[in-house]
Amino acid sequence: MLNIVILAAGLGKRMQSNLPKVLHQIAGKSMLAHVLENARQLEPDRIVVVTGHGAERVQAAFAGRDDLVFALQQPQLGTGHAVQQAEPHLAGGDAPDDVTLVLYGDVPLVQTDTLRRLLAARAGGLALLTETLTDPTGYGRIVRNEQGAVLRIVEHKDASDAERAIKEVNTGILAAPTGRLREWLGRLSNDNAQQEYYLTDVVGLAVGDGVPVHAAHPSASWETQGVNSRLQQAELERAWQRAQATRLLEAGVTISDPARFDLRGQLSCGRDVFIDVGCVFEGEVRLGDGVHVGPHCVIRNAVIEAGTRIEAYTHIEDARVGEAARLGPYARLRPGAEIGEEAHVGNFVEIKKSVLGRGSKANHLAYIGDAEVGQRVNIGAGTITCNYDGVNKHKTTIEDDAFIGSDTQLVAPVRVGRGATLGAGTTLTRDAPAEKLTLSRAKQTTVESWKRPQRKG
């Protein structure tokens, strides 16, 4: 049986925040959510999250998840003490293959493949995830014998000068046989500089009991990078984003500047996709072949079909865009927008819960909400659908080949017939018949006797 224990009790004083540290985000998702996502891919039998500071907020953030058990560490007396709080909730322990994997809520990006290698390295004993650092200051050092076998871990504050010269460090992540771990937790001592119970002391206990201790290493250094400050959070964010950009670049996507690229979800791209600077992708986004995304666009939960060009500062959310469409600059597609092939949505045009048919155009300063717009429709500048009466939303239907003049208000529910033309400035409150010109304007008059008011004095 596989248990996963995630230590998430820390205060995070250096974050200078009221938010529990593990709820701070990397790539649009809390650090603890990242850890849980990777942990679940291992299909564990039990996940125990050890909380402490801000326990209520942490539990509330993950309420309703049946696979989580929460244990409270109060007060916080070290990592060994934290795992002791989780111990009553661990499953199994009698079988040799029962294992407990210990992860950290503020080390969010350890990848599942690395964790699988760690579990495989255990080979019936204890396995540590270690890293070799140029500057290991602050980390526990891996002490080995002359044959290279792991003897113990010594914390930086307790290390001698010779031990501090060691470059191989402990990441804190380990996999241990559950039954033996229970025994070792009961034998931990706080006889050290911090008067805390160190989980790392189980390594020395394992060696003393003749249990072999092995090591595995992450694929990338950023996987084991922890977050204790806003600066470290920002540094890890950029490391993660650079890794995502590298993956896309190697798959053939053109990213004009990988240092100015943000992915906060999943992005899949066809061939010959171009992404300009400052773009943000959130949720599930798919870009078809030849899609061009201009600078500073935000795209969330969207499908953009092949050949579409998205100009600068366009925002797209929960929308679908057909092939060879043209969007922006400064366009906004809100949830439920469906843009047809070869359609144009221009500057300062907002579309919500509406279909814009193939070849239709709304090029300037328009709002289209709760509408069905057919093919080859022209929507003039300043046009709006008046879809909300203060209580209910109503639908506007514009059939194929209609021409909507500038500064038109369509007061829903209303229908514009096929091939109809609405004159500029029209307020449409009744259906417009097909192939006819419909307009509503007050008679233009000139008042000859009128004079502009003048300031007195």
Residue positions annotated with a catalytic role: 364
Rounded Cα distance, 70 and 369, in Å: 45
Would you tell me how many other CB atoms lie within 10 Å of the CB of residue 145? Answer: 9
For residues 287-326, one letter each, b for 16 or more C-beta atoms within 10 angstroms of the residue's C-beta and e for the rest, the string is: bbebbbbbbbbbbbbbbbbbbbbbbbbbbbbebbbbbbbb
The two tokens of residue 86 are: 């989780």
Asked if residues 216 and 114 have their Cβ atoms less than 8 Å apart, the reply is yes
- Cα within 13 Å of Cα(246), Cβ side: 7
Closest CA to 251 of 297, 219, 289: 289
Distances (CA, A) of 251 to 255, 270, 271, 281, 296: 11, 9, 9, 17, 22
Q: How far is CA 291 from the centre of its chain?
A: 22
Rounded Cα distance, 22 and 39, in Å: 15
Closest CA to 230 of 12, 36, 35, 61: 12
Asked if residues 72 and 36 have their Cβ atoms less than 8 Å apart, the reply is no
Residue 195 DSSP SS3: coil
- DSSP 8-class letter at 223: G
Q: How far is CA 219 from the centre of its chain?
A: 22
CA dihedral (303, 61, 68, 33) in degrees, to 10, reads 50
Helix residue ranges per DSSP H, 41-102: 55-61, 79-86
Tally of helices (H runs) and strands (E runs) in the chain: 8, 37
* Residue for token pair 């829903």: 412
- Cross-strand bridge partners of residue 104: 7
